[in-house]
Amino acid sequence: MGRKLFGTDGVRGRANTHPMTAGMALQLGAAAGRYFRSDGANGHRVVIGKDTRLSGYMLENALTAGLTSTGMNVLLLGPMPTPAVGYLTRSMRADLGIMISASHNPHHDNGIKFFGPDGFKLSDTAETEIEALLETDIPPAAPDEIGRARRIDDGLGRYVEYAKTTFPARVRLDGLRVVLDCAHGAAYRAAPEVLWELGADVVALGVSPNGFNINDGCGSTDPAAAAAAVRRHRADLGICLDGDADRLVLIDETGQIADGDQIMALLARRWADEDRLTDGVVVATVMSNLGLERFLSDHGMRLERTAVGDRYVVERMRAGGWNLGGEQSGHIVMTDYATTGDGLIAALQFLAAMAATGQPASRLARSFTPVPQLLRNVRFAAGCDPLGTDSVRAAIAGAEARLAGHGRLLIRKSGTEPLIRVMAEAEDPTVMTEVVGEVVAAVEAAG
């Protein structure tokens, strides 16, 4: 059976619309429970975390019903960053971890992400097998083998304490003022607490979730308010997390934004100098700027590129035994510390560099000059395939011919939204803008 539900990051969609319905969540819970309890033994457990979307209550309850119906014991963490779920899945010796979140998407979307017992996201193979179980009659557990569910009250505290261990011992952030935008999302309690306990003067934004305001005019996808707050409060650094806190962007003291490529460049250079960067390799996706690749090469390091999606970055890192990777969008994966992107721990690594060097964020966040890059997203109607039309193919071929030897073009469908992403890099910004415009116009006309 082909994959119909699982995309590049679990199952995702509009809340209360297929596949993000209570009924489907119950079925997914039962299928996942049967998959991880295939030996029929009791005692299997699953941890469930969520972000702050209103629909999280519905999906949490439905998943719990499905899982317990097959004999799985459920440990409910409540609002919790995605990387915390990965960490606690492994720490609590669970067979499965589940995060209910649509990451950076608006509140009306939601998603379900699965983690294996090692804390890493499930493989495509495992997800496909779980999806196949949905087409079968899943036998329920016997009445005396139904699973139990309980709330875990100290899950947040466990993650807070762990996050602090990734920061250098005996180093404090006294004297540093940090604007922290939590996007009204999953880290609204954990992130401010960690920075405050480490001594920072925290100006907290996006910490009043109401079920509807997650990622709304805030967070890593809309950092304008945080940038203004950095300037207004004369802060040393701004940190913007997304809804489930697995990604970030940084803002220096002048209000300028640094993306994931700049963060990876800084960490790679520091880790290489400290002989901590495995094999001198950084793993990033095809979206990362050519400037990052050149910077790494100039300093004796190498960039390995993957398909878009932090799961593919992690897979390549694990296959190669490498410990640093990420995405331009702000997923920073450090397998020495976490099993997935962790915006808070990445921010702590940047703050550690500030503390160690005494240099301002504006200097540390500008390791290289990016090659001009333009990305535009084009929404298309359900059922359409703009990339399959002759007109779009011709536009792409023409754009690639213009950029040959002077830049690159990347066209891809989003794995989480009905969007075509059109990206070009070129030394000549005029040519870059023209070729992106031509392809976008063709996609709009076809979709």
CA distances from 313 to 124, 272, 304, 334 (A): 14, 19, 9, 11
R_g of the chain computed on alpha carbons: 22
Q: For every residue of 187-206, which 3-state class applies, written as one string?
A: CCCHHHHHHHHCCCEEEEEC
Q: How far apart are CA 316 and CA 293, in angstroms?
A: 17
Residue 103 falls in the annotated catalytic set: yes
Can you say how many angstroms the Cα of residue 249 is from the centroid of all Cα atoms in its chain?
A: 12
Q: How far apart are CA 406 and CA 285, in angstroms?
A: 20
CA distances from 159 to 42, 166, 258, 345, 350 (A): 27, 11, 26, 11, 19
Please name which of 36, 50, 47 lies closest in space to residue 92, comparing C-alpha atoms. Answer: 47
User: What does the DSSP assignment read for 382-413?
Assistant: TT--GGGSHHHHHHHHHHHHHHTTTEEEEEEE
Site of tokens 């910004």:
429
Q: How far apart are CA 135 and CA 153, in angstroms?
A: 36
Sequence letter at residue 396: I
- Omega before 19 cis (within 30°)? yes
Judging by DSSP bridges, how do beta strands 257-258 and 248-251 pair with one another? antiparallel
Q: How far apart are CA 29 and CA 339, in angstroms?
A: 22
Longest alpha-carbon distance in the chain: 70
User: What does the DSSP assignment read for 3-51?
Assistant: -SSEETTEEEEETTSTTSSHHHHHHHHHHHHHHHTTT--S--EEEEEE-
Identified catalytic residue from 55, 103, 220, 329:
103
The residues carrying an active-site annotation are 103
